[in-house]
Homo-oligomer: A and B are copies of this chain.
């Protein structure tokens, strides 16, 4: 066993690092931070353009559709470097929706959507959750009925992040009302400018915006249903599979931790260097151990992907572990910074650019969002250890 990089991996990582050195600057990092890692600002668009020029927007594509033929471990190295640099991640349109369309769409659908996605003309919001269907996705109620050659969509989606900026919604809808809950769902592409679509902002604690989106007799062409009718629940899971490498990345928590460490190195309180405080030393060391451990859960996901497995248990481990660790980093960090730990990012004198208090407000969402950690632990039990379900 060898945890060192192979020559090929090392060359790839060097290439990524060189790219980052060229294209990631403080303006980009600041924009990304202030927009809450949204990655839709002007600097992010410039960065995405540079990625496109290299063809790296296709890193998650299957090789037969222009993908780069990178192993999952190489993709993990890529994500690790991008996250560590503080640059925006590739949008889910490119890492999750596009690879799904490539696998489940027919030839016409692939020809319809892929070029426009790659040109940056089409950008998706992911419309899964509803008020009564959070982690329990199969309970969704937004329905689409076939009316001639069009789907008639009615209902609403919650936590539809980016819907106010996206061109289209990648929507899980109930098309077979009489089928068992998880067999009645399909995936439908709905243009955000279609008549009957309305967007209401939802503002959440960490200062991020998400949306409630309402569909009132919205009509979309029949061909916008991607893949087979009734298999949407599985397609959503497939789309999720393509996200797994980034969902459980410890990169953001590590980046904020590293910035905290840099601050602690120079800060003086009550005439004493903060780094001399035994409590501070102990807590930072323990967090570093936990971050080192959490990072390698991401490697486990990559290893399993490269073996051709669906890394359900491994990515659930990474997701649950990293989200809970982020909370500890934030909490300890706020306390280490003391009264300064309260300052918002907008405050010019905020230490560590206010990241600790922001992470303190963000972390709960990491744990309950994207499938609560309770469900992640159930998955680890069922899929990772073969525990019985019934």
Q: Which residues of A contact B (CB under 8 A)?
A: 278-279, 281-282
| Residues of B contacting A279 in the complex (Cβ-Cβ under 8 angstroms) | 282
**Complexed CA–CA distance, A282 and B280 (Å):** 11
**Complexed CA–CA distance, A279 and B281 (Å):** 10
| Residues of B contacting A282 in the complex (Cβ-Cβ under 8 angstroms) | 278-279, 282
A387 CB to closest chain B CB (Å) equals 15
A142 CB to closest chain B CB (Å) equals 29
Copies in the complex: 2
| Residues of B contacting A281 in the complex (Cβ-Cβ under 8 angstroms) | 278
> Which 3 pairs show the lowest CB-CB distances between chains A and B?
A278-B278, A282-B282, A279-B282
**A283 nearest in chain B by CB position:** B282
**Complexed CA–CA distance, A278 and B282 (Å):** 8
A332 CB to closest chain B CB (Å) equals 13
5 A–B contacts, CB within 8 A, in A order: A278-B278, A278-B281, A278-B282, A279-B282, A282-B282
**Complexed CA–CA distance, A281 and B279 (Å):** 10
**Complexed CA–CA distance, A282 and B286 (Å):** 13
**Complexed CA–CA distance, A281 and B282 (Å):** 11
A8 CB to closest chain B CB (Å) equals 43
**A279 nearest in chain B by CB position:** B282
A377 CB to closest chain B CB (Å) equals 14
**A282 nearest in chain B by CB position:** B282
**Complexed CA–CA distance, A267 and B282 (Å):** 22
**Complexed CA–CA distance, A6 and B279 (Å):** 39
